[in-house]
Amino acid sequence: MAHRMGVEAGDQVAVLAAVAGGLPASLSELKPGYAVSALLIHGTADAVSPIEGGFSRHRGPNGELRGRTLSLAETAEFWRAADRCPPGPGETRATEFSRRVIVTGGAAGTQVVTWTVTGGGHTWPGSEPYPRMEQVTTQEFDAAEEICRFTRPLLAPAAGRRL
């Protein structure tokens, strides 16, 4: 949903954050009309929405595969291209538990950040795992706090972000 809002309602959305959610392949051919900063957080061991993309491990009510998503790297590249970020590897910050790649310099000051949680599952960083869910989460950072921290300085009016 965050990606759809960024692509289709960029005049209303200056920043998006997706935790364990790659860009739906069905949106990958669209061209956003506005630059939108993106914070993309994903675990390397997500068994529901794999970091390498593909179909969800959960099936629909009739056993059908659910929609395909792009990998974390492809999702980041989509937003980097849409935001007209300069080429290059960006700035990397790594710890024992995670790795962030920060790309700045996009249109109207937009940024694209990928935050990979080593060994993290389909969970919300900083919270307790769901009961009976056997996927690891991290306490290294709180995703909600980091989303707020990322968003605040990037809230720019739509007029200045028009592509």
DSSP string of 36-103, one letter each residue: -EEEEEEETT-SSS-TT-EE-SSB-TTSPBPPEE--HHHHHHHHHHHTTPPSS--EEEE-SSEEEEEE
Q: For residue 57, what pLDDT is reported?
A: 66
Does 163 fall in a domain? no
User: In the chain, pLDDT over 70 holds for what percent of residues?
Assistant: 98
Mean pLDDT in residue range 79-88:
97
Does 133 fall in a domain? yes
Give the count of domains, the chain: 1
Indicate if the pLDDT at residue 77 is higher than 90.
yes
Does 76 fall in a domain? yes
Residue 85 or residue 131, greater confidence: 85
Mean pLDDT in residue range 27-32:
96
Give kind and range of the element (H or E) at residue 7.
helix 2-8
Q: For residue 129, what pLDDT is reported?
A: 76
For 33-69, the pLDDT digits (tens) are 999 999 999 999 998 889 999 986 667 788 777 788 9
Give kind and range of the element (H or E) at residue 17.
strand 15-19
Torsion, Cα of 92, 94, 98, 100 (10° steps): -20
State the residue range of the domain holding 14.
2-158
18, 40 Cβ separation under 8 angstroms: yes
Q: How far apart are CA 156 and CA 139, in angstroms?
A: 31
